[in-house]
Copies of this chain bind each other. A is one copy, B any other.
């Protein structure tokens, strides 16, 4: 029973809904709770596939809309599919383009059958609906395809949220009927904004159709922390325990801990990579700016005790210098470290769940991280 879609729960926390599992895909197994780095344009920014593997990355996220704009799906398809194109042999999850309905709001028109975009690059028109999004993801050959949904903004009024839920349900039904790539799984997305009953209605309707997994969407779009947590709690009850649950675009380590405690299995976020490009290092005890003058003569690694390539070989002073003079290697080295930290953090989470110490880890991490993890602007998803 390890064909694509098999999901085995391997451990469950007694003090929360946290659990560990193994999700099998056409390109290998994924150990949950898992963090998926974002490879919007068929590249996790600044990283090579080898470096991703070394950081312990098991699964990547790719982006339907962006790949459709550049290089074009035909290029990826004709050169052997997204895995071969990127040189990444492991699992890939592709989003459906639905998030761009939100993030590129000024550039699209939503109709009953989908959304018309004008490309952010050259203004060329692209139409995405459930049929197009599934067809693109089939041609990309991703391991997990996301249904095409409508992600409403925050805040949004009840009427808009309601319409968006109905559209999301109807589009999900349409997606379910489309042809898939061999072994490709399809995850549905729960919408409903900040309205608990809409979230429940959406989740229940999707579960009735029977998907391989379920995502919680419409989060990490600027809402306060308690609304995010409410969105998770409102969406989860109808979802079957035996299927993986994915919280889209989240996020911060404290958010991940809270979500794992609610029973979330999968995460993606641009934070570790985007922050690296801004010169911010993630460590066990929080974040700090490597470009700061305090690091000028600092011969210590970016994080003491870290085993990543960056920390094993280079000083803060060097990484700071590279970032300050605009050398590509600076961004590379900090991205390597930040991703390593994120993946190591997820390993700690899985280990704690398996060993029955998740509650302790959570308390300890909160005490360590909260004070040094202020809410950053635009930390969430890649547009």
Interface positions of A (Cβ within 8 A of B): 41-43, 45-50, 70-71, 74-75, 78-80, 84-87, 296-299, 309, 313-315, 317-318, 320-322, 324-325, 327-333
| Known A80-B315, A87-B314, A328-B331; further 12 A-B contacts with Cβ < 8 A | A42-B318, A43-B327, A43-B328, A43-B330, A46-B332, A49-B313, A70-B321, A70-B324, A71-B296, A79-B297, A87-B313, A332-B332
- Nearest opposing residue in chain B for A299, CB measure: B79
A329 to B46, CA, bound (A): 5
Say yes or no: A328 contacts B328, CB within 8 Å. Answer: yes
Say yes or no: A71 contacts B313, CB within 8 Å. Answer: no
Say yes or no: B49 contacts A79, CB within 8 Å. Answer: no
- Nearest opposing residue in chain B for A328, CB measure: B46
Say yes or no: B79 contacts A328, CB within 8 Å. Answer: no
Say yes or no: A322 contacts B80, CB within 8 Å. Answer: no
Say yes or no: B296 contacts A45, CB within 8 Å. Answer: no
- Nearest opposing residue in chain B for A80, CB measure: B299
Known: A86-B318, A321-B75. A48 touches B329 (CB 8 A): yes
Known: A78-B299, A325-B41. A50 touches B309 (CB 8 A): yes
Say yes or no: A79 contacts B318, CB within 8 Å. Answer: yes
Q: Tell me how far the C-beta of A102 lies from the nearest C-beta in chain B, rounded to whole angstroms.
A: 22
Say yes or no: A75 contacts B297, CB within 8 Å. Answer: yes
A74 to B321, CA, bound (A): 13
Q: How many copies does the complex hold?
A: 2
Say yes or no: B332 contacts A48, CB within 8 Å. Answer: yes
Say yes or no: A45 contacts B79, CB within 8 Å. Answer: no
Q: List 9 A-B contacts (CB under 8 A).
A: A41-B325, A42-B322, A47-B329, A48-B329, A48-B332, A48-B333, A50-B309, A74-B297, A328-B331
Say yes or no: A325 contacts B70, CB within 8 Å. Answer: yes
A320 to B47, CA, bound (A): 16
A335 to B315, CA, bound (A): 24
A71 to B296, CA, bound (A): 8
A309 proximity list for chain B (CB < 8 A): 48, 50
A78 to B314, CA, bound (A): 14
Q: Tell me how far the C-beta of A11 lies from the nearest C-beta in chain B, rounded to whole angstroms.
A: 35
Say yes or no: B45 contacts A317, CB within 8 Å. Answer: no
A45 to B322, CA, bound (A): 10
A41 proximity list for chain B (CB < 8 A): 321-322, 325, 327
A298 proximity list for chain B (CB < 8 A): 79
- Nearest opposing residue in chain B for A49, CB measure: B313
A325 proximity list for chain B (CB < 8 A): 41, 70-71
- Nearest opposing residue in chain B for A277, CB measure: B328
Say yes or no: A317 contacts B71, CB within 8 Å. Answer: yes
Rank and list the top 6 A-B pairs by shortest CB-CB distance, nearest first: A71-B321, A87-B313, A79-B299, A46-B328, A43-B327, A43-B329
Q: Tell me how far the C-beta of A304 lies from the nearest C-beta in chain B, rounded to whole angstroms.
A: 15
A43 proximity list for chain B (CB < 8 A): 322, 327-330
A19 to B182, CA, bound (A): 58
Known: A87-B313, A297-B78, A299-B78. A321 touches B49 (CB 8 A): no
Say yes or no: B328 contacts A85, CB within 8 Å. Answer: no
Say yes or no: A45 contacts B327, CB within 8 Å. Answer: yes
- Nearest opposing residue in chain B for A51, CB measure: B48
A315 proximity list for chain B (CB < 8 A): 79-80, 84-85
Q: Tell me how far the C-beta of A111 lies from the nearest C-beta in chain B, rounded to whole angstroms.
A: 28
Q: Tell me how far the C-beta of A228 lies from the nearest C-beta in chain B, rounded to whole angstroms.
A: 30
A252 to B174, CA, bound (A): 58
Say yes or no: B328 contacts A71, CB within 8 Å. Answer: no
